[in-house]
């Protein structure tokens, strides 16, 4: 049982967002949906909360209204096996209104921040060759979507 679950405060687009996230990642599913009842007549029938899993990680989404938008202070970090995975998640998450940021960061069309990171990155920017690591870091700082081949070339000098 997962002891700590990330809770995401959303607005009326909760169903669209959760269905979007579940469609992107394998081994993902919606586990429960609850709706407002008679206690809040103006919201009756609308989704109150959704429990879902992305790659086995549990999340709770709450339809709480527009007063607390997402910020970059919280992001979801996606470990990617290779450039194909980096490109896939980057393209899907920036489509239809998502925005690119720096160093592998982006915001999806709902404003949630993501880090799309190849598993090779730590060994390139923190590898034993300090000059190579510095070159790889400098290369990364110039990128939006991370490019493994460019980072490896920078590391190698």
56-97 pLDDT, tens digit per residue, is: 999 999 999 899 999 999 999 999 999 999 999 999 999 999
Give the count of beta carbons closer than 10 Å to the beta carbon of residue 106: 21
- Check whether domain 1-68 has CATH 3.30.720.100, yes or no: yes
Please report which helix (H) or strand (E) contains residue 65, including its range: none
pTM over the 0.85 mark: yes
What kind of fold does domain 70-157 have according to CATH? 2,3-Dihydroxybiphenyl 1,2-Dioxygenase; domain 1 (3.10.180)
Nearest to 18 by CA among 77, 62, 80: 62
Please report which helix (H) or strand (E) contains residue 105, including its range: strand 105-107
């Amino acid at each position: 049982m997962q002891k700590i679950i990330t809770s995401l405060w959303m607005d009326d687009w909760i169903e669209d967002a959760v269905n979007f996230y579940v469609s992107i990642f394998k081994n993902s599913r919606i586990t429960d949906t609850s709706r407002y009842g008679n206690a809040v007549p103006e919201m009756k029938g609308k989704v109150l909360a959704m429990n879902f899993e992305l790659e086995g990680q549990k999340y709770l989404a709450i339809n709480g209204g527009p007063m607390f938008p997402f910020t970059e202070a919280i992001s979801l970090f996606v470990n990617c096996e290779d450039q194909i995975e980096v490109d896939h998640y980057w393209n899907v998450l920036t489509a239809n209104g998502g925005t690119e940021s720096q160093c592998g960061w982006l915001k999806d069309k709902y404003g949630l921040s993501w880090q799309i990171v190849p598993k090779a990155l730590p060994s390139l920017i923190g590898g034993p060759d300090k000059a190579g690591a510095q070159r790889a870091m400098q290369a990364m700082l110039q990128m939006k979507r991370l490019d493994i081949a460019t980072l490896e070339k920078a590391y190698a000098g």
